[in-house]
Amino acid sequence: QVYLVESGAGLVQAGGPLRLSCAASRRSFSVYGMGWFRRSPWNGREFVAAINWSGGSTYYADSVKGRCTISRDNAKNTVYLQMSRLKPEDTAVYYCTGRAGLGLRVSRNEYDDWGQGTQVTVSA
């Protein structure tokens, strides 16, 4: 069992930034692909961003491309999601997720472990 713990929840005004963090308990974090999904009442659970084991490859949903950056620090077993120019439609519960393996994935069915989620609310 790998435990993923998100942090960085907050209420932010539209246009502002926010950084989410996710700490993993996994020992071999460097061979663990990571991702972020979000769930909102109007969109259900949707893919946000993913990163491969080294951080050298990333992928973003069109809805956040250019406004979000996913990164990781393997020495700290942590992955980050830096968000900027936030919009009210970014309001959601954000989930950190991970999968054993080197590559990145965009389908939630390909992830093994999930955090509890952290609430991001963007006010207009």
pLDDT higher than threshold 80 for residue 117? yes
Percent of the chain scored above 90 by pLDDT?
Answer: 82
Q: Please give the average per-residue pLDDT across 27-54, as a whole number.
A: 89
What values do phi and psi take at 30, rounded to 5? -70, -10
User: How high is the pLDDT of residue 119?
Assistant: 96
Average pLDDT of the chain? 93
DSSP reduced 3-state for 90: helix
